[in-house]
Amino acid sequence: MERKLAVKDEILLSVQQPARYIGGEVHAVMKDKEKVNVRFAMCFPDVYEIGMSHLGIQILYDMFNRREDIWCERVYSPWTDMDRVMRAHQIPLFALESQDPIKEFDFLGITIQYEMCYTNILQVLDLAQIPLLATERTLEHPFVIGGGPCAYNPEPLADYFDLFYIGEGETQYFALMDLYIKWKQKKESRETFLKQAAQIPGIYVPSLYDVTYQEDGTIASMRPNCQEAPERVTKQVVMDVTDTFYPKKPVVPFLKATQDRVVLEIQRGCIRGCRFCQAGMLYRPTRERDLSMLKEYALAMLANTGYEEISLSSLSSSDYSKLGELVTFLIEECGKKGINISLPSLRIDAFSLDVMGKVQDIKKSSLTFAPEAGSQRLRDVINKGLTEEVILDGARQAFVGGWNRVKLYFMLGLPTETEEDMRQIAWLAEKIAERYYDVPKEQRHGKCQIVVSTSFFVPKPFTPFQWARMCTKEEFLHRAYVVNHEIKEQKNKKSIKYNWHEADVTVLEGILARGDRRVGKAILKAYEKGCLFDSWSECFQHQLWLEAFEECGLDLAFYTTRERKEDEIFPWDFIEIGVSKKFLLREWKRAQKGEVTPNCKSACAGCGAAVFKGGVCIEHQN
Amino acid sequence: MNIRIKFRKYGAMKFISHLDVMRYFQKAIRRAKIDICFSEGFSPHMIMSFASPLSLGVTSEAEYMDIRVKNASSSGEMRERLNQTMAEGIDVISVRLLPENSKNAMSLVAAADYQLCFRKDAKLADGWEAKFLEFLKSPEIRLIKKTKKGEQEVDIRPWIYQCVVADGIIMLQAAAGSVHNLKPELLIQAFADWAGITLEPFSLLVHRKELYAEIGDGEKKVLIPLEELGEDFGE
């Protein structure tokens, strides 16, 4: 029988990309809703093409659907045109597979990947006709559960979620589902379920905690308000990343998704310890997948999806110990089938240049370096173990090898940054250009093209910079001005192009990233004023956000430009990620002195992640 | 080996654009392990071409795609392999081997059959069929057609080869392809304008029933379905 769509033809034909709303893709899972115990709607609160590119959902979708008694479906944010029609016609938000309303589901799971999707979360709830406030939900409504990196500071969203899952989804979701199935049979209250769920490791139920504040606005205490809720919630990690869930048949979208390729996650975590990087701390310890598993999955996924490209995924691919073997295997297998290989997050050295020369068209590709800071001094502050010598040598080798395009990524507004550090960004670009023109003319390919991009630094929870002061919009823009001006002073300025990020949205991201429960009201207010798709520059309405904060009586400076005291209680302190606050503080102090800390493979810095008893913490113990 | 594949597109798949259908088949061909030929060069692409793009919202039981393969055992086997990896809404109907040096489907298309009707909740007032037949009797039907070069007045009457109406359904055979192409939506809009009827947006349901090549000698028009230019093989 043909699937019946939730939205009429004439509506679908009147919106952009109707394929976003019809489901039915290759490997989408259909089940009989009468024969399952749990219906789970998995949501990425952004447009379909972005959401479908997310690996985490593909992993959990596959994992849930392996169980006969659970049917996991997908839902994404309807784009603004569809949003308007759905409101006008009172069409409840629906899941792609069954096209049934989300409000009939048992769970709505939302992955929270970046701060600028918070208003989209409210849109999803609103369109689904689920009360926005968790306290107003009844037995008629699904449980709304959040996960992903932003769930490590869930407090700004505390009012809107029934539960948060802290950590990697492969570990505790089945326990939660089993608990739910039992609870459903007994027909008990929502509160009963939430209290039981709070006892599952990694589950945080915000309504079971009370927060008190000091006069200066900082947190005085955050305590459970019932016996069932634990004092601290511990991050859940998969310790065997080889023998675990990974999709061999990911859903293949009809539309060209942002990530239009097979994604092979080779490891989790990162050994580097860059002090600005949240992922580098959250996903410790670093765990590698077994080479034979990766080979098997690469072939199976390519065969099952028909993609013509495969991409390796990790925070720092060069640190994967068997990268050479894996890449050699892929080149051999993919070459004969006309399949492209993409290798992001590679350090530029002789090996990677050799590999890249084999897998991509040098004339069309560019090299990427992420020095993050212009001067060695500041790179030491942020613990980015990349020296000027390494960058220049990598560039020289690449230029000799035929490349002539280089992309450089930096951050502005890092702690301790001086004007000298900013100017050095321009100087580094100039030195790279000079390396290019050192190559004999007959070996060069025209002019070189260096693109310098700067983003503005946002201090994130669970990093050594969580105490740091964040710049104001004016300070950010001044920094971009200094860099821009200095680039114009360089001899090879015509070979250097400079892009910088917008400052308004960065300041907002900073507020939400380190916000507390009180910030939640402003998110709702901004949403009610019409803020949506804030990460899309064409949709971002800065003025409405400012009004929302003002009306909620929130002081932006309290969340952004204030340097935190060492003993301040942070909204996210109740979460245990393995990496200790003591270690982060030590790193914060070392940063201010410009002292570097070696990576996990060189020497254990005692961050605390060894408590998980695995990964790099065990393998590299000397 | 040059192969012509005929497929059906129905249900929710009518919301997949022509470009996405092409991308869909590129992946499907890999999944089905069809031994397709690639073009030369640093970024090779599959040798594959489609007869005629289908507008968004239109269903069809006669879409055609030509591919070149290095090897294939039989029509039946290739059809089966493709159908095992199809999403709901696309079925492969036939797989035919083309003679050497035959022209590709895109350049051959000369006419198409369509079945047209109105959405259930946007039916025209009773008696529209009679008016439509009267409209068809016009010796010429002039309208403004938008082209890449701008707007042009054309007479579409000669492009209507056959047209009958019964029980609220119009069966239309019209010119299609690169020389003249009559979109059914255009004809119905012309009729509505002529009869003073206001059409609701997206109220016309279009279904393509066949695509034809012209094999006449220039004096008399002889149309033959594209699939009949090839033959089943290896059975």
Per-residue pLDDT at B76 exceeds 70? yes
Instruction: Residue A203: name the closest of A240, A174, A181, A182 by CA.
Output: A174
Q: How confident is the model at residue A442 (pLDDT cuts 50, 70, 90)?
A: confident
Q: Residue A64: its pLDDT value, please?
A: 98
Note the pLDDT tens digit of each residue in A270-325: 999 999 999 999 999 999 999 999 999 999 999 999 999 999 999 999 999 999 99
Q: What is the mean pLDDT of residues A424-440?
A: 95
Q: Is A149 domain-assigned? A: yes
Query: Do residues A138 and A144 make contact, with C-beta atoms less than 8 angstroms apart?
Result: no
Q: How confident is the model at residue A1 (pLDDT cuts 50, 70, 90)?
A: low
CB contact under 8 A, A361 and B43: yes
CB contact under 8 A, A10 and B43: no
| Structure tokens, A301 | 């996924």
Instruction: Residue A410: name the closest of A449, A433, A436, A384 by CA.
Output: A384
Query: Do residues A524 and A122 make contact, with C-beta atoms less than 8 angstroms apart?
Result: yes
Are residues A304 and A156 part of one domain? Answer: no
* Among candidates A2, A26, A255 on the partner chain, residue whose Cβ is nearest the Cβ of B87: A26
CB contact under 8 A, B11 and A255: no
Note the pLDDT tens digit of each residue in A330-344: 999 988 888 989 888
Q: Residue A436: its pLDDT value, please?
A: 93
Q: How confident is the model at residue B150 (pLDDT cuts 50, 70, 90)?
A: confident
CB contact under 8 A, B15 and A12: yes
Q: Residue A344: its pLDDT value, please?
A: 82
Sequence-separated (6 or more) residues with CB below 8 Å from residue A291: A322, A325, A326
Residue A301 amino acid letter: M
Q: Residue A433: its pLDDT value, please?
A: 95
- Which residues in A lie closer than 8 A to residue B58 (C-beta atoms)? none
CB contact under 8 A, A10 and B11: no
| Structure tokens, A98 | 């069954």
Establish if A26 touches chain B: CB-CB under 8 angstroms: yes
Q: Residue A621: its pLDDT value, please?
A: 58
- Which residues in A lie closer than 8 A to residue B88 (C-beta atoms)? 2-3, 24
User: What is the distance between the alpha carbons of residues A266 and A270, in angstroms, rounded to a whole number?
Assistant: 11
Which CATH number is associated with domain B2-107?
3.30.70.580
* Among candidates A22, A304, A338 on the partner chain, residue whose Cβ is nearest the Cβ of B12: A22
CB contact under 8 A, B57 and A256: no
For chain B, what is the mean pLDDT?
94
Of A9, A29, A356, which to mutate for an interface test with B (greatest number of B Cβ within 10 Å)? A9
CB contact under 8 A, A18 and B56: yes
Answer whether the bond into residue A101 is a cis peptide, omega within 30°.
no
CB contact under 8 A, B87 and A308: no
For A349-368, letters b (16+ CB in 10 Å) and e give eeebbebbeebbebeeeebb
For chain A, what is the mean pLDDT?
95
Query: Do residues A558 and A217 make contact, with C-beta atoms less than 8 angstroms apart?
Result: yes
Instruction: Residue A506: name the closest of A475, A530, A528 by CA.
Output: A475
Q: What is the mean pLDDT of residues A176-187?
A: 96
Q: Residue A620: its pLDDT value, please?
A: 67
A 247-266 → B contacts, CB under 8 A = 252, 254-256
- How many other C-beta atoms can be found within 10 angstroms of the C-beta atom of residue A570? 20
Closest Cα of chain A to B15: distance in Å? 6
3 state DSSP class of A237: coil
Are residues A141 and A47 part of one domain? Answer: yes
Minimum CA–CA partner of A305 in chain B: B31
Closest Cα of chain A to B86: distance in Å? 7
Q: Is A139 domain-assigned? A: yes
- Which residues in A lie closer than 8 A to residue B85 (C-beta atoms)? 26, 306
Per-residue pLDDT at A446 exceeds 60? yes
Chain B positions touching chain A (beta carbons under 8 Å): 10-13, 15-17, 20, 23-24, 26-31, 33, 38, 42-44, 56-57, 85, 87-89, 119, 122, 200-203
Of B10, B13, B29, B30, which to mutate for an interface test with A (greatest number of A Cβ within 10 Å)? B30
Note the pLDDT tens digit of each residue in A93-115: 999 999 999 999 999 999 999 99
Q: What is the mean pLDDT of residues A588-610?
A: 96
Closest Cα of chain A to B21: distance in Å? 8
Q: Is A248 domain-assigned? A: no
Q: How confident is the model at residue A365 (pLDDT cuts 50, 70, 90)?
A: confident
| Structure tokens, A606 | 């005692």
Q: Is A383 domain-assigned? A: no
Domain map (residue ranges) of chain B:
2-107, 108-225
CB contact under 8 A, A24 and B23: no
Establish if A304 touches chain B: CB-CB under 8 angstroms: yes
Note the pLDDT tens digit of each residue in A492-504: 999 999 999 989 9
Establish if A361 touches chain B: CB-CB under 8 angstroms: yes
Q: Residue A352: its pLDDT value, please?
A: 85
Closest Cα of chain A to B215: distance in Å? 36
Query: Do residues A305 and A260 make contact, with C-beta atoms less than 8 angstroms apart?
Result: no
Q: What is the mean pLDDT of residues A530-552?
A: 97
Q: Calculate ∠ Cα A409-A415-A416, nearest 5°.
A: 110
- Which residues in A lie closer than 8 A to residue B43 (C-beta atoms)? 340, 361
Decide if the complex's ipTM is over 0.90: yes
Domain of A589 in residue numbering reads as: 261-360+578-622
Note the pLDDT tens digit of each residue in A191-247: 999 999 999 999 999 999 999 999 999 999 999 999 999 999 999 999 999 999 999
Minimum CA–CA partner of A2 in chain B: B11
Establish if A24 touches chain B: CB-CB under 8 angstroms: yes
Residues of chain A with pLDDT > 70, as a percent, come to 99
Are residues A65 and A153 part of one domain? Answer: yes
Tokens 């212009």 belong to A374
Are residues A272 and A206 part of one domain? Answer: no
DSSP string, B172-202: EEEE-SSS----HHHHHHHHHHHHTPPPPTT
Closest Cα of chain A to B138: distance in Å? 31
Note the pLDDT tens digit of each residue in A11-41: 999 999 999 999 999 999 999 999 999 999 9
- How many other C-beta atoms can be found within 10 angstroms of the C-beta atom of residue A285? 26
Are residues A172 and A318 part of one domain? Answer: no
Per-residue pLDDT at B149 exceeds 90? no
Q: Is A447 domain-assigned? A: no
Minimum CA–CA partner of A304 in chain B: B31
Per-residue pLDDT at A622 exceeds 60? no
Q: Is A71 domain-assigned? A: yes
Closest Cα of chain B to A342: distance in Å? 14
Are residues A270 and A226 part of one domain? Answer: no
Q: Residue A363: its pLDDT value, please?
A: 67
CB contact under 8 A, B88 and A3: yes
CB contact under 8 A, A10 and B29: no
Are residues A330 and A195 part of one domain? Answer: no
Q: Is A102 domain-assigned? A: yes
Residue B70 amino acid letter: K
Are residues A176 and A309 part of one domain? Answer: no
Closest Cα of chain A to B151: distance in Å? 24
Domain at A591, CATH number: 3.30.750.210
| Structure tokens, B90 | 């696309």
CB contact under 8 A, B202 and A10: yes
Q: How confident is the model at residue B147 (pLDDT cuts 50, 70, 90)?
A: confident
Of A4, A26, A94, A342, which to mutate for an interface test with B (greatest number of B Cβ within 10 Å)? A26
Note the pLDDT tens digit of each residue in B32-68: 999 999 998 777 889 999 999 999 999 999 999 999 9
Q: What is the mean pLDDT of residues A259-265?
A: 96
Establish if A603 touches chain B: CB-CB under 8 angstroms: no
Establish if A14 touches chain B: CB-CB under 8 angstroms: yes
Are residues A265 and A130 part of one domain? Answer: no
Closest Cα of chain A to B61: distance in Å? 16
* Count of structural domains within chain A: 2
Establish if A4 touches chain B: CB-CB under 8 angstroms: no
Q: Residue A362: its pLDDT value, please?
A: 67
Closest Cα of chain B to A5: distance in Å? 7
User: What is the distance between the alpha carbons of residues A305 and A25, in angstroms, rounded to a whole number?
Assistant: 11
Query: Do residues A523 and A118 make contact, with C-beta atoms less than 8 angstroms apart?
Result: yes
Q: Residue B196: its pLDDT value, please?
A: 94
Sequence-separated (6 or more) residues with CB below 8 Å from residue A92: A86, A101, A102, A103, A127, A128, A129
User: Which run of H or E residues covers position B223?
Assistant: strand B223-225
